[in-house]
Structure 1
């Protein structure tokens, strides 16, 4: 083979590899911006939820339940809400809304889903808690709404924010206050991860996790394979490298299964049977590894984070029973 031909092959191979590497980095960086960067700071582009949450934030997200969600949101907006603030472990100002109730029997900290808000996720649920006599504290997750932050970390840092909010409630309402953690989707992952922290105040009586995924890596791996039809390697590894560099966390830094192995509180798991974003198998895996008192409620036919809308009666009965069982009357 002529030297010129060999040289051309080598240069072509190197050039092709460089182009492939550049394309991989560009694609990974694009999805990093869509999945991790604060929603209101992103450059305009394709709807991130079509990638990160295949069933979220589209016009048809709630389908036949759209009016129910809108009514719940309007009800919550009509209530007297108090905005409170605290500081995160990394010095971000975090905000939360309080829906108070006279002679509250306890407080539920309700943590919203990816790129969402308390009003959107908890209008109907907050009304149920309110009518049952529970104060509702609804944080804005970091990098969302009234809270500071540039990056969403899918529970990795949010779980520490949950621990901080539980401390805020204990300091404000006392060590005997009955506190429950309730999360939806990414919020559910956040509250489950918080359960692994020894710093979680003792007056946290129980945890309600609706549609939790196990870790950012497990979630992204499922989405990349199912929706993007890409192998986890090298795409996710490239995206994680960017995430480590820019946002300071890795996709496998922590998981709900690690946290649940250390959990000492009772846990109520709720999950939709037809969840296409977070497979039901993740809920079952979380349930199996949990060593405390636990219950798994599967909502037939429900897609991601829609269990309460699909079968309100089953969800309300399960949550109400859970609260009654673990609320202390001192």
Structure 2
């Protein structure tokens, strides 16, 4: 099992330093997997993101990078300034960094709002070989508008979150309206797309995943996880196995098409 994590700092286009953890599989690395956390999340994912990366690095030979978006975790910036456009810039900076470290394909993987980010970024960045989403919302403006509980009067909005409330600038919603994630999914081909969603997700409905799958072109896969919630609390092992098989298939230049 790989446990030699390295802490790095990566500068985004706005001059902020992003905190990242790198797990390199050595000179025979098959490429990079960049993992994006969800809304209000962090790179470690409560320890599960690191455990997943260690497992999959050993099983697939890919190197992994976990990072905090600006304003989250240990990265610089203010959370209230968060936008999807800013997260796309952050992800692009991490992809830049991967290319500077060693050559090889780059796969992006994101959970929840991080999944929305990898879709929007992947559609515009040809350096990305493949994209994987976990519980990614596609009706972004609707989802976040429904979560608004107050407008503070100083150009900010307050949203309900699983751990309470969070404040964001109104620019967050205006920025979301400039993205169409279904169109983004449609232009990813011929790069593979893996869509994973929990059957019992009560934050983002599984219908979002099915809409993504129906819009995307082959090669694509959709896995609706029986009993899976938004966090994949009790089903993470099943998800890891799906991702590991998919990554190994990428190396063999194959991608199974279908829905489960």
SS in 2 for 1:98: strand
Deviation, 1:311, is: 5.5
Residue 253 of structure 1: aligned partner: 178
Map 1:143-292 onto structure 2 (within 5 A). Answer: 143-151=71-79, 153=82, 155-174=84-103, 177-197=104-124, 199-201=125-127, 204-223=128-147, 239=157, 243-244=169-170, 249-264=174-189, 265-292=191-218
Deviation, 1:248, is: 9.0
Bigger CA drift: 81-90 or 129-138?
Answer: 81-90
Give the counterpart of 2:33 among 101, 108, 111. Answer: 108
Normalised TM-score (structure 2): 0.79
Deviation string, structure 1 residues 269-323 (Cα, Å, up to 9, x no partner): 000001000111111111111124111000011110316x42623x233212211
Larger radius of gyration: 1
**Unaligned stretches of 5+ residues in structure 2:** 159-167, 254-260
Deviation, 1:82, is: 1.5
List structure 1 runs of 4+ shifted beyond 6 angstroms. Answer: none
Give the counterpart of 1:326 among 250, 256, 259. Answer: 250
Contact 2:25-2:57 within 8 A present in 1 as well: yes
**Unaligned stretches of 5+ residues in structure 1:** 1-74, 231-236
Deviation string, structure 1 residues 231-273 (Cα, Å, up to 9, x no partner): xxxxxx9849x8346x695331213223223223211000000
Contact 1:106-1:327 within 8 A present in 2 as well: no
Please state if 1:140 is matched with 2:68.
Answer: yes
Deviation string, structure 1 residues 204-231 (Cα, Å, up to 9, x no partner): 321110010115313224546xxx7x9x
Contact 1:126-1:136 within 8 A present in 2 as well: yes
Work out the CA distance in 1 between the residues paired with 2:7 and 2:236: 31
Residue 63 of structure 1: aligned partner: none
The count of residues paired between Structure 1 and Structure 2 equals 236
Flag the structure with higher helix content.
1
Bigger CA drift: 155-164 or 129-138?
Answer: 155-164
Work out the CA distance in 1 between the residues paired with 2:108 and 2:55: 15
Work out the CA distance in 1 between the residues paired with 2:85 and 2:66: 19
Deviation, 1:328, is: 5.8
- CA RMSD after TM alignment: 3.0
Deviation string, structure 1 residues 10-54 (Cα, Å, up to 9, x no partner): xxxxxxxxxxxxxxxxxxxxxxxxxxxxxxxxxxxxxxxxxxxxx
Residue 161 of structure 2: aligned partner: none
Contact 2:71-2:82 within 8 A present in 1 as well: no
Contact 2:156-2:170 within 8 A present in 1 as well: no
Map 1:27-176 onto structure 2 (within 5 A). Answer: 79-102=3-26, 103-119=28-44, 120=46, 121-132=48-59, 133-151=61-79, 153=82, 155-174=84-103
Deviation, 1:101, is: 2.3
Flag the structure with higher strand content.
2
Normalised TM-score (structure 1): 0.63
Work out the CA distance in 1 between the residues paired with 2:4 and 2:195: 30
Contact 2:115-2:132 within 8 A present in 1 as well: yes
* Cα distance, 1:250–1:239 mapped onto 2, change above 3 Å: farther
SS in 2 for 1:94: strand
Give the counterpart of 1:310 among 232, 235, 253. Answer: 235
* Cα distance, 1:141–1:257 mapped onto 2, change above 3 Å: same
